[in-house]
A = this chain, B = another copy of it.
């Protein structure tokens, strides 16, 4: 059960092993008859080409590395699945590394991928400093960040138009008759979050709506737990908002929990609007209306970007994806 190599095929076929290589790579400089014959022998001998050896000489691995903050996070796992599909369509495999939201580990994983000579790296950032964290590696391997806005010129990235997403949410609420809303979960230090919050402010002011804020001071992520706490505080002394626009679905889920606990009915007493459209939100018992980040589109854009930079040199590019509203049952018309 030893691994069959090209040389043994050559011996059996009575040709040089270069000829076998040509047959396999579909090179035009080979006779149809020989090709057929060789291919048949390969098949019979169950030959599987050694990608490692091939990578070595071709100086490409056909592997895209992915460094993600989490594999299990519903938003990210959906993104990764879409990245896998998009990569596969272009003939690439994925090497997925988990940073567990840890900047040090993220760095190690990134470096590892470089050593593995992947053809490109897609990063789903562990934190807001990820791009800075990874900027030390001078490399000609294309790197694309997904889902987080970066400073322009800092690095290539794919993100939704967060300001537009905020506007879409606010306009929807406006259309539903809401004039006084709470924006929950704004936070410092994240460009993505500032863009959303600023978008909300701008849209509200243009539409003549009143907006108040409940900021997320927790150092951690935008977790359900944070949403729960924030909403709980709000419900303790409500300020008359008829709708809560949450910066992320996780926060919204937490806010929903707090509302349930406080006996505040959704959407009868208050409307809740999320952001991201993670899989949880579509459950019948949840029915969260939310601003969607189109993950498949983002994944496609990331793959396109990473592969185009491979051939065209490494200017910093970025792609902005249009978000859209997914209407369910957590918001009511008033």
Which chain A residues (299-334) contact chain B, with CB distance < 8 Å? none
Q: Within the complex, what minimum Cβ distance (angstroms) separates A112 from chain B?
A: 7
Q: Within the complex, what minimum Cβ distance (angstroms) separates A99 from chain B?
A: 10
User: Contacts of A49 on B, CB cut-off 8 Å?
Assistant: 115
> In the docked arrangement, what's the CA distance between A78 and B71, Å?
7
Task: Report yes or no: B50 in contact with A53, Cβ–Cβ below 8 A.
Answer: no
Does A25 belong to the interface (CB within 8 Å)? no
Task: Identify which of B71, B95, B260 contacts A80 (C-beta below 8 A).
Answer: B71
> In the docked arrangement, what's the CA distance between A95 and B138, Å?
25
User: Contacts of A116 on B, CB cut-off 8 Å?
Assistant: 51-52, 93
Task: Report yes or no: B46 in contact with A52, Cβ–Cβ below 8 A.
Answer: no
> In the docked arrangement, what's the CA distance between A100 and B89, Å?
14
> In the docked arrangement, what's the CA distance between A260 and B283, Å?
12
- Say whether, besides A48-B115, A71-B84, A284-B260, A94 and B93 are in contact (CB < 8 Å): no
Q: Within the complex, what minimum Cβ distance (angstroms) separates A330 from chain B?
A: 11
Which chain A residues (236-285) contact chain B, with CB distance < 8 Å? 253, 256-257, 260, 279-280, 283-285
Does A111 belong to the interface (CB within 8 Å)? yes
Q: Within the complex, what minimum Cβ distance (angstroms) separates A234 from chain B?
A: 17
User: Contacts of A115 on B, CB cut-off 8 Å?
Assistant: 48-51
> In the docked arrangement, what's the CA distance between A257 and B285, Å?
7
With both beta carbons as reference points, the residue of chain B lying nearest to A113 in the complex is identified as B93
Task: Report yes or no: A61 in contact with B52, Cβ–Cβ below 8 A.
Answer: yes
Which chain A residues (68-97) contact chain B, with CB distance < 8 Å? 70-72, 74, 77-78, 80-81, 84-85, 88, 93-97
**The 5 A-B residue pairs with the shortest CB-CB distance in the complex, in nearest-first order:** A77-B77, A71-B81, A257-B284, A72-B81, A96-B96
